Amino acid sequence: MFDKILIANRGEIACRVMETARRLGVKTVAVYSDADERARHVALADQAVHIGGPAPGESYLKGDVIIRAALETGAQAIHPGYGFLSENPDFVEAVEAAGLVFIGPSADAIRKMGLKDAAKALMEEANVPVVPGYHGKNQDPEHLSGAADAIGYPVLIKAVAGGGGKGMRLVEKPADFMDSLKSAQGEARTAFGNPDVLIEKYVQQPRHIEVQVFGNGARAVHLFERDCSLQRRHQKVIEEAPAPGMIPEMRAAMGAAAVRAAEAIGYKGAGTIEFIVDGADGLRTDGFWFMEMNTRLQVEHPVTEAITGVDLVEWQLRVASGEGLPMSQSDLSISGHAFEARIYAEDVPKGFLPATGTLSHLEFPATARVDSGVRPGDTISPWYDPMIAKLVVHGATREIALKQLETALRHTDVAGTVTNVSFLALLSAQPDFVAGRVDTGLIARDLERLSVTPVACTKARSVAALSALGLMRGAKAAPGPAFVMWTPLEHSVALMHHDARIDAKVTVVGTGDYRVDLGDARHHVWYGEGAWWVDQTKVQARMARYGADLTVFWGNAYHFHVIDPLEREDEAGVGGNLIAAPMPGLIKAVYAEAGQVVSQGDRLAVLEAMKMEHSLLAVRDGVVAEVLVRDGQQVEEGAALIRLEEDEEAAA
Ligand code: ADP
């Protein structure tokens, strides 16, 4: 086994690799860009080397710089993760030329699978079924159009150098062929520098089922299948293993074909053979065709780990360091069912637009495996894929595991950015998916319903109002509301929720006991016995407050913005004279002193919280009566920091 490896990646996969390396006693070296100096993968590594600017081309794609970092830190091998340099044969050769081990396949194996047309030809030779179509060299449009006619419509045009669904066009009828060809070639030229395409029969009601393989350079085993049919624009959303409705004969046939494919190219390490499956009327042993091979560890590898009990990264390290295959085919078996959901910072109603933000709150349920590259307070930057985490569940049956997935998603609390969590939760309860009737068109057919933004009900709004007033904290905080001597019996607060203003009146009716009036609704909210109760019903609400932003997690994440809270407190007769800490943090600077005349908006102090600095401003013109904190002091949320003298006009 290696003493030390370098991980040429970032995010969750870099962290994932380091966790296994650590368990095996292998030291780790991280590399990082300017944008990732404080990233989780850097914190987890034994050593970390800065490799350049935030754009991938200036850092994570700089093979020479990464190899130098490995040599300088004494790493013996490089794990590429997925993406970036993981399927770049030139990088593999450079790593080996530097006397290091590439944890993955040979450059030759990657090249053989690199172009879809050549890979298909090779697979035909190895007796692996391929999708009927044309994958020859002749790129003359008339010839390609003739090939499409011969195959029979609908057809799919695919860029031979394609990936991520780019350069791919579905053509329904001959009249559309030439236009689609032109646009596919244009996109392929821009994205891959190679305009060549192949033509395939478009499989109706297609399912994407892939087989995990593992080779030692000569022999290979398979670790069964994953179903990745839940896709949006050819991108996987939720994956599962095993495939619903899989029959033993088809599993055996697909596994054997995948092993033939891997052995045909002398594959070493973890790889995936992707098949397209005709799901129109049940699974059959002759209803699957090779699409492509991914010559790396895949994002969705955890579902295979869950059902086989194998740590695929451990296998990668062991085989790369010279050991044989850790298990034989007959030793491998499937136990239970697993799902993985990919949680992203993205704006679902806005067409899944990638989002950025600082994760002011991040909490996952203990019932799921969570592979993540971020911690609370970390930032989702615009430089990389906006993944927050992968949530993986494993249960005895598909039904149990899917229920676990939905529950886990409903207990995934993220604030500070928009996410696809509620979309994933709705998807995990989608009737066709629940019934195992999956195909790659499922999400698109139900997209409108799945992408609605959840709107808070009046109960959730009541909870938000209490939280905004600081009267109610997360159920995990110390029990009991922050009751203070001068709390009046009535408070009012205004919140924004989805561009609508909510005015709430909160009346204290007992210790920790409140009535919330929203105009159109009234609820009774109470904290007791370690939980929150709304109208005599115990509820699972959790809260996160970050400055004026407030999120109530209650089945969904409901975001609120608290309108001018200090002014409001003034109305209620308490806080107009007090500048309080809006969240727990460290006082970085105090600019005010007793007796000082200040104007509204003057900066009186700076609070550092969640790695960000927040200026605390004077809410009105006045005179500082008292400074209650000093530099370097840690303060609680709501702590009084600076008091202004009684407002004369108000007093008069
Ligand atoms: P890329 O490399 O760009 O991701 P793939 O060849 O892996 O392209 O295909 C991506 C997705 O496109 C598949 O998962 C499947 O949903 C769909 N697809 C690919 N080939 C076919 C086909 N012949 N018929 C129907 N759908 C297909």
Q: Among 495, 507, 502, which residue's Cα sits nearest to residue 471? A: 507
Is residue 172 in a domain?
yes
Q: Are residues 38 and 163 in the same domain?
A: no
- Can you tell me the mean pLDDT for 99-124? 96
Which atom, in ligand 1's list, is nearest to the CA of 234?
A: 11
Q: Are residues 478 and 602 in the same domain?
A: no
Q: Are residues 191 and 214 in the same domain?
A: no
* pLDDT over 80 at 635, yes or no: yes
- Give the total number of structural domains in the chain: 5
Of the three residues 201, 219, 242, the one that is the final residue of a domain is 201
Res. 574 pLDDT band, cuts 50 70 90:
very low
Q: Are residues 265 and 365 in the same domain?
A: yes
* pLDDT over 80 at 569, yes or no: no
Q: What is the reported pLDDT for 510?
A: 76
Q: From ligand 1's centre to the CA of 199, what distance in Å?
A: 12
- The DSSP annotation for 41-95 comes to HHHHSSEEEEEE-SSGGGTTT-HHHHHHHHHHHT--EEE--SSTTTT-HHHHHHH
Say if ligand 1 is within 6 A of residue 199 CB. Answer: no
Of the three residues 391, 419, 450, the one that is the final residue of a domain is 450
Q: From ligand 1's centre to the CA of 164, what distance in Å?
A: 9
For a ligand 1 pocket test, name from 151, 201, 291, 300 the mutation site with the most ligand atoms within 8 angstroms of its C-beta.
291
Q: What is the DSSP letter of 535?
A: T
Percent of the chain with pLDDT over 70: 94
Say if ligand 1 is within 6 A of residue 413 CB. Answer: no
Is residue 126 in a domain?
no
Q: Are residues 488 and 633 in the same domain?
A: no
Res. 617 pLDDT band, cuts 50 70 90:
confident
What pLDDT digit, counting tens, does each position of 395-426 carry?
Answer: 999 999 999 999 999 999 999 999 999 999 99
Please state, in angstroms and rounded to a whole number, the distance separating the CA atoms of residues 145 and 134. Answer: 10
Q: Which range among 269-273, 298-302, 647-651 shows the weakest confidence by mean pLDDT?
A: 647-651
253: which 2 tokens? 């046939």
303: which 2 tokens? 């579902």
Protein residue with its CA nearest to atom 1 in ligand 1: 163
Full-model pTM: 0.84
Q: From ligand 1's centre to the CA of 568, what distance in Å?
A: 56
Q: What share of the chain is helix, strand, coil (3-state, %, to 5)?
A: 30, 35, 40
Q: Are residues 282 and 387 in the same domain?
A: yes
Q: From ligand 1's centre to the CA of 601, what distance in Å?
A: 56
- Can you tell me the mean pLDDT for 41-60? 97
Q: From ligand 1's centre to the CA of 172, what distance in Å?
A: 16
Res. 193 pLDDT band, cuts 50 70 90:
very high
Res. 167 pLDDT band, cuts 50 70 90:
very high
Say if ligand 1 is within 6 A of residue 291 CB. Answer: yes
Q: Are residues 179 and 322 in the same domain?
A: no
Q: Are residues 377 and 230 in the same domain?
A: yes
Q: What is the reported pLDDT for 566?
A: 52
Q: Are residues 438 and 496 in the same domain?
A: no
Q: From ligand 1's centre to the CA of 168, what distance in Å?
A: 8
Q: What is the reported pLDDT for 467?
A: 86
Helix axis angle, 11-23 to 312-320, nearest 10°: 70
Please state, in angstroms and rounded to a whole number, the distance separating the CA atoms of residues 459 and 552. Answer: 11
Q: Where are the alpha helices (DSSP H) in 160-311?
A: 177-192, 248-264, 301-308
What pLDDT digit, counting tens, does each position of 514-535 carry?
Answer: 999 999 999 999 877 777 899 9
What pLDDT digit, counting tens, does each position of 436-479 carry?
Answer: 999 999 999 999 999 999 999 999 999 999 888 877 644 333 33
Which atom, in ligand 1's list, is nearest to the CA of 168?
A: 3
Res. 485 pLDDT band, cuts 50 70 90:
very low
Q: Residue 526 belongs to what domain range?
A: 458-562
Protein residue with its CA nearest to atom 14 in ligand 1: 208
Say if ligand 1 is within 6 A of residue 259 CB. Answer: no
272/633: higher pLDDT:
272
Protein residue with its CA nearest to atom 18 in ligand 1: 276
296 noted as active-site residue: yes
Protein residue with its CA nearest to atom 12 in ligand 1: 234
CATH of the domain at 355: 3.30.470.20
Which atom, in ligand 1's list, is nearest to the CA of 165?
A: 3
Residue from 40, 169, 207, 296 carrying the catalytic annotation: 296
96, amino acid identity? E
